[in-house]
Amino acid sequence: MCGITLSQSRQKTVYLLNGPNLNLLGTREPDIYGAKTLADVEAECATLCASLGVALTFRQSNHEGELVGWIQEAGLSGNNIGLVINPGAYTHTSVALRDAISGTGIPTIEVHLSNIHKREEFRHHSYISPVANGVILGLGTKGYSLALVAMNDILDKT
């Protein structure tokens, strides 16, 4: 007997990771990113995940290596685990994040608060999009909720 029931082994978990400067939500360029803080976003996501029966691991880091470590932790920790990630500026620069997602094979949804295609030219390219199941952008913090619902559906199919 392994000590894990079927219901425990099938528990869906979503890692919701936020990249650099997202800790400044609510104060950093609110005309672009909105007035909600990251704590507000976390509370909304936790409520939604509880209603979906999904465990949530919510984290933010300004450090690329820490984000890579968390992606690996999520991707290598078993079945029924998904990733929702707002990589912030690392979207446009980080092959390391892309390789961590690709290397673990974790189902992934990329989220951006603003429409990166309506912004500066350098923001138009994403290293994450080609290895993501989907991309949600330009809908503000509502994008997180949409991504969590979509990830729940993806995990239901695995």
Q: Region 141-157: what's the mean pLDDT?
A: 97
- pLDDT at position 8, please? 46
- Annotated catalytic residue 125: no
Q: Please give the domain boundaries of the chain with CATH numbers for all domains.
A: 6-156 (3.40.50.9100)
Residue type, 66: E
pLDDT above 60: residue 14: yes
CB 70 within 8 A of CB 108: no
Count CB-CB contacts under 10 A for residue 2.
5
Catalytic residue among 90, 112, 127, 144: 112
* Distances 21 to 6, 61, 63, 118 between C-alpha atoms, Å: 39, 8, 10, 20
Q: In whole angstroms, what separates CA 144 from the centre of its chain?
A: 8
pLDDT above 70: residue 7: no
CB 81 within 8 A of CB 106: yes
pLDDT above 70: residue 99: yes
CA pair distance 120, 134, nearest whole angstrom? 22
pTM for the complete prediction?
A: 0.90
- pLDDT at position 2, please? 41
- pLDDT at position 4, please? 38
- Annotated catalytic residue 112: yes
pLDDT tens column, 104-120: 999 999 999 989 888 77
Question: Mean pLDDT over all residues of the chain?
Answer: 92
Catalytic residue among 33, 90, 127, 144: 33
pLDDT above 60: residue 1: no
Q: Which two tokens stand for residue 48?
A: 């939604």
Q: Region 56-74: what's the mean pLDDT?
A: 98
pLDDT tens column, 38-53: 999 999 999 999 999 9
DSSP characters over 44-87: HHHHHHHHHTEEEEEEE-S-HHHHHHHHHHHHTS-SSEEEEEE-
